[in-house]
Structures are given as structure tokens and as C-alpha cells.
A and B are shown apart, each in its own frame.
Chain A
Amino acid sequence: MSRKTGIFSYGLVAAILFIAGIGFFFLSTFTLGFLPGKRLEKQIAANKPQAATGYTPAEKRGRHIYAREGCAYCHSEQVRHTPADVRRWGPPTLPWETSYDTPQLWGTRRIGPDLAREAGVRSTDWQLVHLYDPRYVVPKSIMPGYPWLFKGGPDKPTRDAKDLVAYLNTLGKPRRQAAGLGAGQADSPTTPEQRALDNNPSRPRAIASGTVTRTLSASGDVRHGKRLFAEHCSACHGDQGRADTPGAKALEPHPVDLSEYRYTQGALASILYNGVAGSAMPAWRDLGEQERADIVAYVQTLHDTPSHGATKPDDRTLARGAQLFATSCSSCHGVNGAGDGPAAHVYQPRPFNFQHIQPDTHRIMTALENGVPGSSMPAFPGFGHDDRQAVAAYVRSLYNGHATD
């Protein structure tokens, strides 16, 4: 081929530079960047809820820490339009949900779970303990700990840690705002419209702890339950259920010492299925029904005080207890102790339902004397020792283990 000269000699190079290098760059940026951007802008303008607000300065700082520590490289922030994603985290992420997110943190990899709707899935103190050392609460976790965000312990967060958790607690906020709900765990969707907007299957459901919403058809295998308990529950509740682990110490309300409570099977089944909103106890819906039944069977063996043979309280003590309960406890715990008093639904965690949960006497006495930190249960300094004993006797008499088993 003969060599061209003059103006044409630059033709080839010019074609490469201007068509391949520059032309195709602008073509791709236009078709895959600006064009969908315009459509997204329209979609966002049409669907974004009126109530939507951006981040507070603290949340913004937290988001910045989340970004630079590389959280997005293991935790995506988008629920995809796939059945598996929707089953775990609720409806797919829509464009308006991330319209305040600059830069976006959608992520392309999941080693841990998606966090697009993390608000309300875990309690703030759980998040702090988990950030300090993830293995305190999730023994098999491979997430790095971030102890430099704390001043020596999970209960001493720096501003960085607090802001980071403040950001985590905003994840999913746009949908909650669209549904007209507040940010806390307290606000569960009630109407079908709200549920369609803000349905997060991994979030605990706010119902009175012990209220039976779930029964088990399967009968549990204690040995398998013990294995599952060691794997999933022991980080907070301890190997023997005594809640004496480092993870448990920083959580408020303190994880229950399972040796001090008697639960009906239905109550445990409901707690496992629903979680305990307002506490670090998550919902365990990802476990199969048989696995939950096995854990229930094992947990029931952890209560170490025999229920038979205890001296029955005399009628006078019970009457005294009933009277005190009616005046001081029933507004929250309900007149029948079912955790359904008129004030119950404003509190997180919800008051205990004593028909299905029977704490040991000394546990009730301690709670009356000191309150339960991290919950709405106050101390009752006006009660003397006999009063506390009477209330304890009455509360224990409410238990009706056969009603649902």
C-alpha cells in the first residue's frame, strides 16, 4: 500500500483519537450516564415523599466514616429486584431512596448482609458493641473490629462511633418517612399501605414480649437446639444461658439470664420469630421452623429452679400482691399481666406478658428494687421487702403454662 502524504497522513491518528478515544467516551457517558440520569431525576421528583429530609451533620459525619472505612465493600446498600433480596430485606430499593447519598454506597459485594434498611433491625447498643468487636455478639463474624472509635470499651464510644451508629440508624429512613413513620423501632407499620412501603422482614416486630403470635408444629430436639444455641445465642446469653459474656455486659437492656425465667413454648417461639424490639434481641426468621423448635426445646431446659415443690404463697400475700400490681403495674403490664396495659404500646421493649413468662422470685424482686436499665421498667423505692415479695408471688401466679402449650 502506498504511503499517503499531506493532510491525509493524520487521518488515521485523528480517527483513533477523536472517534475511539473521545467520541466513544462521550457516547457512553451520554447513553449510560446522562440519559438514565434524566429519567432518574424525573422518577425521583415524582415519587419522593414530601417529608423526605437529608442527613443531619452528625449523620453525615457517620456516613463519611462508613465510606472511608470501606464498609460498602462488604455491605451493599441496595435491595435488588430479585426474590431472594426481597425475602430478606423487603421491597427493592427505588431511586428516591438514595437521592441524598453523595457519593453513592450501593456496593458490588456482599460478605455481610445488605444494610439498605438497617435502621430498627438492631438496637443502638448492639451496633456499638458490634462495632467495638463484632465477635462479642456474632461469634462467627469475620468483620473487623473498630476499637479506635471507642475509649477502651464498647460502652465508651467516641463521637465517631456515635455518629457512625447515627448514620446506620438512618438507613431505610426515606421509606419510613414515606410511610409516615418515625425512625425508632417503636414505629411499626400498621396499615397495608405502610407495610407495602416499609416492610423489612429482618426487623423485630414490636409486640409484648411473651405474647404468643407464633406456635410451633414441630417438636424440638434438645441436643440439636444446644448446638444452635451455642452458635447463634451464646454470644449474648452465654454458654449456659446465664448472660455473663463480654458482649452481654454492654447491652441494655441486659440479655435475659435464661436460668431465671420459665417460658411457655409459644412465648419462646414468638420471641425467636419476632425478636424483641427495643432490645438487642433480633428476629430469627432466617432459621427454619424445626431449628427454632430445637432452640426452644433447649432454652426450656436452661431454667434451673424446679417449678414443683416450691411453697405456695398464702392468700393474704397474693391479695396484697394483686392490689399493688393493680395500682402500680397494670398500666403497663395490663390488668391480667398480659403485657397489654394502656401505656404498653409506647414502650420499647414492650412490658412482659406474665401469663407466658415466669421470672424467678429474686429476679422480680431485683427488678422492683433497681428497675431494668435500658427498658421502661422503673425502680419502685416505695415498696418494702414484703411488698416486693407479695408482688413477686402475685406475678408468678399469673403464669399459665398450659394455656398455649
Chain B
Amino acid sequence: MSSSAIAVEAGEAEQGANPITAEAASVPTEYGLIKAHGYAAFAGLVISALFGTVVAIKFVWPQFLGSEAWATWGLLRYNHTQGILFGWLCNAFIAFFYHATPRLAGRAVLSRRLGWILFFVWNLGTVLTGWGLVEANLDQWLFAIKPLEWTEFPPIVNLMTELGLLLVVLQFAVPMIRGPERSHLYVTAWYILGGGVFTLLSFPMGSMLPEFVPGAMGAAFSGLWIHDAVGLLVTPMAVAIAYYVLPAATGRPVHSHFLSMIGFWVLFFVYPLNGTHHYVYSAIPMDTQHAAIAASVILGLDVIVVVFNQLMSVRHNAWRMRDDVPLRFAFTGVIFYLVVSLQGSFQALMPVQRITHFSDWVIGHSHLAMLGFASFIAIGGLLHAWQRMPGTRYNNRLANAGFWLTFLGLMLMLGDLTIAGLIQGYMWTESTTWIASVENSMPYWSIRAVSAIPIIAGFVCLIAAMLTGPELHERRSGMEAAA
């Protein structure tokens, strides 16, 4: 049960073979689809980041872009978060699955034609139609924005997303189920299978039930989806990539398959039980809130196990991160995973919730999760696949610049929003006017808007890194010379 393609790949690398040349060339890989989803992912990343930047500017300059219906804060915020989830992260995940699945399953993905259908269902059906309908802001229920966090795209778009999720599961699960590795699947494949099936169920639950279930009951389901989107879609996929990239890039097999199983089962059991911690001190029954808080603390402990297991691959190999930017991205993402999860466990506690909830502290936390943890690992996975793909260019210097710009921008935003959140939280407990908390947040909101500059510059560097630099055969000879 513990052998796996990746361990083989990594094991060979350890014996001196180059990780790029040690490709399992026998199983065909859909390079065209990796590229298509890779480009779509980075387009989605930059566009969503620009939506977010406009939202950030409107905090300090409300009349920015004028008072037009399409440019109102609410609509742009929907497009920022939905774009990051569907346009950027999911595209990046899918691109990486096309790289990893043949190597993990020992079998090609289900169908190339299905792959292109999925590509268009996802990018035209979900991302572009979603953005468009949000901007059009129509009245009819089927086409109207839903005020449900993390699933604001209209119901008609949700149908396309659900279809896309189904295609994702078929495309990647079938080779895993039917391939030669089916009873020896590496943990990366577990996360892809588990997260895929779970999201196939939780997405319609979160997107539809609160539309019909009122008040506190609806909030209970909303809370579940807010957390399922992060916990059972983004987290398993990002953890899957980290479990793949760290051993493959360092050449050290995963430290313990037993620990990876513990991590997997505890995560899938406990993470879904976290949802109600978004509504602490609310009208939802207190027992439910307490259960969710307890689950949040257990989750933090589980993440320590997962991260320990992953970081053991980097032990004695930290020097590789100097030149291997994808590895550095994935490694940093794993560190962020630990930090953001422990922060999450901490802020789920009631005395902390009392102050930090509703404030910018949470916005800092969510950026640490989506940008720090998920996006850093997704970038690492995407560049890792890119480096090993024929017909691509890869520029390590630009990738390196992209890393530092994104890293510094995120640190600036995180520190800034955390302080702002504490100030807001404490001001709300004091006898001051509400507007005083807005005024006192202003300097922090300005810094947050400025932090968009290094972050977006970093993204542009990453795109440039994937379009310039040497081609595969040149990279190969270069890496062999280095080895």
C-alpha cells in the first residue's frame, strides 16, 4: 500500500538521477491541457487580483471609478473571491492534476476530449459567465447573484460548476480507480479523490440549501459551505500538490506513509465539522458552536502532523530551495499552512472571536490561507509541472523575483490587516461612534491597497517566467550539468 509512483520517482532521484529526466515517460500526459489550464489560471489570478485591488482602493477612495452600477464595491468583491476560487485556484489544481495523475495512477486521464469540454465548461461556463452575470446584476432568480459567501455566482453558473466538478472527478478518479496503482495509491491521489467527491456533494448543498432554508438554519448550512470551500476543496488539493512537489523536487520520499494516512483521515473527518465557527456567539445552538470550536482545535493539531510529515522531505535538502523556485514556493506554502491553521484554531476560541470576528483580522487570515497557503503551493505545483513539460519556456530569475515580490506583498498585507483588525475589534467594544473605527482604519486600508503593487508585480513576473527563458532541452542539459 505504501509504494507509489512518486516514491519511485523520488527514489530514483535520490540515487542520482535527475528529477526531470526521471519522468515516467511510459504514461502519456496531456501537455496541451496543462498549458491551457495553466494560462487560464494565471489570467484568472491577475484579473481576480485586480478586482481585489479596486475593492481595496475603494476603502480609501470610495468614489474611485465613479458611482457606476457595475463598479460598485459589492459586485467587485464577489468577482474577486469567486475569481480566486474558480478562475485561479481550481484551474491551477486541474493543471497540476494533469501532470500528477498519470504518474500516480500509472494510467492516462480518462479522455482528452473530455478534458477540453471540462476546460470550456470551467472557464467559459463558470468563470467568465459568472463574472459577467455578477456585473450584469440581473433580477431573475436563476441569473441573480446569491448573497452567500464563497458561492455568489448565480444558480445557472452553479449548474455549470457542478457539471465541471463531475467532469473533474471522472477525468482524474477513473484512471486512479482503474489504473495499476489502484491499491497502492500515493496520498496525493487520496486527497484528489476525497476532495473531489466531497466537493461534488458540498457545493450544491452550500449553494442551494441556504437559498431555501431561512435564518439561523440557513446560516448553519452557509457556515458549512464557507468552510467546505476552503477545507474540502482548496485544502486537500493544495496539500495534495505539496505531498507531490516536496518529495519529487528534493528527491526524498515522503517521511511516513502512516502519518500521511493519519493526516488524511483526521482532516476529512474534522474539517467539515469546523463550519459553525464562522457564527460564534450567534443564534445557532451553543452546543453546535462549541463542537465546531473543538473541531477547529483538533484540526490545528492534525495540521502539525501533516506539515511535519511534509517538511521531513525537505530535511537536509533545504539548499535545493535556493535555486529551485517551485520547491521554495511549495515549501513556503506548507509553512503558511501550518501558521494559518494554528491561527485558525486560535481565533476560533471564544475569547478571541469576541474581538477579532467581523474585523480585518479575518481578512488577513483569509489572505494568508488563499494567497499564502493555497496559492503559493499552487504556484509551486504549476511551475514544477511547467519545468518538466516539453515545449515550454521557464525563466528561473523571473520566477525568483515573483517569489520575493509576492512574499513581501503578502507579509505587508497580513501584518497590516492583523493590526487593523485588533484596532477595530477593540474600538467596537469601547464607547465611541462607529465611524471612529472607520477613520482609525484608514491608514491601514491605505497600506493594504499599496500591498497590491508588489503582489501583482510578483504575479506578472511569474507569468513572464513561464513565457521566457530556456526551453525544456536546454533546461535539462543545464540541470544535468548542475547535478
Give the B-binding residues of A (Cβ under 8 A). 1, 3-4, 8-13, 16-17, 19-22, 24-29, 31-33, 35-37, 39-41, 44, 64, 67-74, 76, 78, 80-85, 87-88, 92-95, 97-113, 133-135, 138, 140-148, 232, 284, 286-288
Contacts and interface: CB of A to CB of B under 8 A. Distances in A.
Contact of A101 (B196, B218, B284): B218
Interface stretch (B70-78, B310-318, B334-342): B70-78
Q: Lowest 3 A-B CB distances belong to which pairs? A: A70-B74, A21-B197, A28-B272
Given A17-B197, A28-B272, A70 B185 contact: no
Contacts of A64: 139, 144
A99 B214 contact: yes
Contacts of B434: 112-113, 286
Interface of B: 1-3, 58-60, 62-63, 67-69, 72-75, 77-78, 137, 139, 144-149, 173, 176-177, 182-185, 190, 193-198, 200-202, 205, 209-224, 226, 228, 232, 264-265, 268-269, 272-273, 275-276, 278-285, 287-288, 291-292, 354, 357-359, 362-363, 428-429, 431-435, 438-439
A147 B217 CA distance: 35
Contacts of A108: 149, 226, 278-279, 357-358, 362
Contacts of B217: 33, 36-37, 40-41
Interface SS of chain B: helix
Contacts of B265: 20
B214 A28 contact: no
Contacts of A41: 217
A13 B177 contact: yes
Contacts of B210: 103-104
Contact of A232 (B146, B280, B357, B433): B433
B202 A103 contact: no
Contact of B268 (A24, A67, A83, A101): A24
Given A9-B182, A148-B69, A142 B438 contact: yes
A33 B438 contact: no
Contacts of A83: 429
A25 B202 contact: yes
Given A11-B183, A80-B280, A87-B431, 5 more contacts: A9-B183, A20-B198, A24-B268, A67-B147, A92-B283
A100 B218 CA distance: 11
A35 B288 contact: yes
Contacts of B73: 70, 74, 144
Contacts of B176: 13
A32 B275 contact: yes
Which of B200, B217, B228, B429 is packed against the most chain A CB atoms within 10 Å? Answer: B217
A80 B281 contact: yes
Nearest to B138: A68
Given A36-B284, A37-B220, A102-B218, A28 B275 contact: yes
A104 B354 CA distance: 21
Contacts of A25: 198, 201-202, 205, 232, 272
Contacts of A113: 434
Contact of B429 (A3, A39, A84, A146): A84
Given A21-B197, A24-B272, A287-B433, A68 B288 contact: no
Contact of B145 (A68, A76, A84): A68
Contacts, number: 276
A41 B268 CA distance: 29
Contact of A104 (B218, B276, B280, B292): B218
A98 B273 contact: no
A36 B276 CA distance: 10
Contact of B211 (A13, A84, A103, A107): A103
Contacts of A69: 72, 74-75, 137
Contact of B194 (A17, A39, A112, A145): A17
Nearest to B202: A25
B316 to A, nearest CB: 26
A20 B223 contact: no
A40 B190 CA distance: 36
A40 B216 contact: yes
A112 B436 CA distance: 11
B439 A140 contact: yes
Given A103-B148, A286-B432, A22 B182 contact: no
B193 to A, nearest CB: 5
A141 B226 CA distance: 29
B439 A39 contact: no
A138 B292 contact: no
Contacts of A111: 438
Contacts of B213: 37, 102
Nearest to A43: B285
A66 to B, nearest CB: 8
A19 B194 CA distance: 9
A32 B213 CA distance: 14
A110 B359 contact: yes
A28 B276 CA distance: 10
A153 to B, nearest CB: 13
B291 A13 contact: no
B431 A286 contact: yes
A29 B275 CA distance: 10
B267 to A, nearest CB: 9
A22 B197 contact: yes
A32 B219 CA distance: 10
A146 B214 CA distance: 27
A111 B441 CA distance: 10
A188 B395 CA distance: 70
B215 A99 contact: yes
A70 B77 contact: yes
A100 B214 contact: yes
Contacts of A141: 62, 435, 438
Contacts of A9: 182-183
A94 B282 CA distance: 8
A113 B436 CA distance: 11
A64 B141 CA distance: 10
Nearest to A134: B62
A202 to B, nearest CB: 9
